[in-house]
Amino acid sequence: MTDQAPQDDAAEPTPTAEQQLATETNEQRDVRLAKRERLVAEGEAYPVSVPVTTTIQSVRAAHADLQPGEETDDVVGVAGRVVHLRNTGRLCFVMLQAGDGTQLQAMLSQKEVGAESLQRFKELVDLGDQLFVHGRVIASRRGELSVFADDWRIAAKAIRPLPNMHSPLSEEFRVRNRALDLIQRQGARDMVLTRARTNASLRRTFAEHGFVEIETPMLQTVHGGASARPFVTRSNAFDRDLYLRIAPELFLKRALVGGIDRVFEINRNFRNEGADSTHSPEFAMLEAYEAYGDYHTIADLTRELIQNAVRATSPTGDLTAVWADGTVHDFSGDWDRIDLYGSLNEALAATWDGPGRAPVITVETSVAELAPLAERHGIALDPATATHGKYVEELWEACVKPGLTRPTFVMDFPEDTSPLTRPHRSRLGLVEKWDLYVRGFELATGYSELADPVIQRQRFVEQSLLAAKGDPEAMQVDEDFLTTMEYGMPPAGGMGMGIDRLLMALTGLGIRETVLFPLVR
């Protein structure tokens, strides 16, 4: 931006702040910069403070029923952002907006503030400025609650024009200029509160059940706990590469070994994979582990966590979420727990159009038998890394998932796709794992955790063989974790849930809407 011209003189001084400003300018900004200069020369364009006595919200609350034309003796000093400005000659109307979107009008009459002050106001105040006004609270003849100003001050001069407040901003502009989006759009402000209320609700529910929140490493020497490609970074002090974590699981389990029996973490994970409407390279993740629980108890807890979050964020305060598109989603009651293989075989039988009866898929069904079946549903996997489990899960997603409307736990998964999960207590070849599906996407997953360090080591070795075959998402062998496991981890249920996903389920918005400042190129 500053080096578009060829540098024929290497000793040329770097541009001053003013020159840099000048390279990126427009008429409207020039006008405001001149006003800033004048304010600075005459006093302050950015005072350290202004003498506010109350807030826009409080004034509105205190005088909610003021009748048109009615006046009060309540003298206030309030400040807010100028979002509308109207000038009818010797009377000016200015709409001030608080951070939460609450607006309050101020009226500047020549009779009240004097000709000189009004003239100065007209010359110096623009849309977008932070403005302080002092005066009595009245209602205008048309009934608009107002501060009838006897004094005013610029609280902070804006030098960039505000976007047009009357037409919606484009998606791209909103994502790249979130501050302006927050000024202009109630939905943007609501999202911030929804996320905060959701996080508070989750922590409250955990606290009620005696869970302890801990923070585990973001920078890891071995990446594990999930199947995903990590980001790699560099430690100068250790002179080695480090991974940004893809999951906190292996550290939370160390805490479990250490006796933190009910433990959870809400924090960021990083995965070096594609970004789309449901995936972001960095995303907030919740993981929780409950000693002496299993995948049933952790499913109960997960349902309670989500139902409490729905209650905390629902406009109606009940167990329904109203999505941005107007659809209403019911999270109440108990949620179905269906069997992965059973529901898949049901769906296959119902849609079977081949000869004879539909094949019944079991844990024993080979990759050779699954491949042609998957092909019928348009699924093609890389033969080098395809396994029984990958085929079964792909088939399930193609055949069963689209039909789910209510929140549903899908239970009991094949072993080879869940290397950190305990073998099923009664079903050979399966693990005690569930996925929770809400409206077509996977919201959370839960397990009876694998506590046997010998089997855990075998699973890691199998993963590393996959990695050797070229699977970039396979886990590394984490010797330190295995050593800790060998001291004995209590039987436990564990769960993981994407916070952004939860917000999507609560609001029906895309991930770029739920993240305040999403990564953009």
* Residue 52 vs 398, nearer CB to RNA: 398
**Minimum CB separation from RNA for residue 33, in Å?**
11
CB nearer to RNA: pick between 175 and 262: 175
- Select 189 or 229, whichever has its Cβ closest to RNA: 229
Question: Least distance in Å: CB of 521 to RNA?
Answer: 3
Structure token digits, residue 55? 């807030």
DSSP string for 39-70: HHHHS-SS-S-----S-HHHHHHHTTTPPTT-
Quote the least distance from Cβ 281 to RNA, whole Å: 6
**Residues 249/452, Cβ–Cβ less than 8 Å:** no
**Residues that bind RNA in the complex, under the rule CB under 7 A:** 26-28, 31, 84-91, 93, 95, 105, 107, 109-111, 126-127, 140-144, 146, 160-173, 175, 226-228, 271, 273-274, 276-281, 283, 378, 381, 441-442, 445, 473, 498, 500-501, 510-512, 520-521
Q: Is 442 annotated as a binding residue?
A: yes
Report, in Å, the least distance between residue 227 CB and RNA.
Answer: 5
Burial 206-233 (b: 16+ CB within 10 A, else e): beeeebeeeebeeebebbbbbbbebeee
Using CA atoms, how far residue 180 sits from 140, 166, 191, 437, in Å, is: 29, 13, 14, 35
3-class DSSP string for 463-480: HHHHHHCCCCCCCCCCHH
User: How far, in Å, CA of 267 to CA of 384, rounded?
Assistant: 34
Backbone angles phi, psi at 241, to 5 degrees: -75, 145
- Please, which residues have CB within 8 angstroms of residue 485's CB and are 6 or more apart in sequence? 253, 257, 451, 453, 456
Separation between Cα atoms, residue 261 and residue 255, nearest integer Å = 8
Nearer Cβ to RNA, position 285 or 321?
Answer: 285
CB of 487 to RNA, least distance (A): 28
Nearer to RNA, 359 or 510 (CB): 510
Closest to RNA by CB, 190 vs 442, is 442
Q: Is residue 151 a contact partner of residue 52, using CB atoms and an 8 Å limit?
A: no
Distance CA 380, CA 368 (A): 13
Collapsing DSSP states into helix, strand and coil, what is residue 481?
helix
Is 435 marked within a binding site?
A: yes
Strand order in the sheet with 232-235: 219-220, 240-244, 232-235
CB of 490 to RNA, least distance (A): 25
CB of 208 to RNA, least distance (A): 26
Helix (H, G, I), strand (E, B) or coil at 31: helix
d(CA 204, CA 307): 12
Least spacing, CB of residue 141 vs RNA, in Å? 4
Q: What angle do CA 331, 337, 341 make, to 5 degrees?
A: 135
Pick left, alpha or beta for residue 439 (phi over 0 → left; psi -120 to 50 → alpha; otherwise beta).
Answer: left
CB of 180: closest distance to RNA in angstroms? Answer: 8
Torsion of CA 107, 113, 117, 118, to 10 degrees: 40
Please list the residues that pair with 276 across neighbouring strands: 279
105 neighbors 148 (Cβ within 8 angstroms): no
Angstrom CA distances, 497 to 314, 417, 449, 519, stand at 19, 18, 16, 21
Structure tokens at 448: 């009876």
Q: Smallest distance, Å, CB 451 to RNA? A: 22
Of 269, 442, 251, the C-alpha closest to 340 is: 442
Pick the closer one to RNA by CB: 294 or 500.
500
Which residue lies nearer to RNA by CB, 255 or 444?
A: 444
Residue 105 vs 130, nearer CB to RNA: 105
Nearer to RNA, 165 or 222 (CB): 165
Total Cβ atoms within 10 A of residue 180? 17
Q: Which is nearer to RNA, 320 or 387 (CB)?
A: 387
- Rounded to a whole number of angstroms, the minimum distance from the CB of residue 445 to RNA is 7
Q: Which residues contact 424 (CB under 8 A, 6 or more apart)?
A: 412, 430, 431, 432
Binding residues: 435, 442
Binding residues for Mg(2+): 435, 442
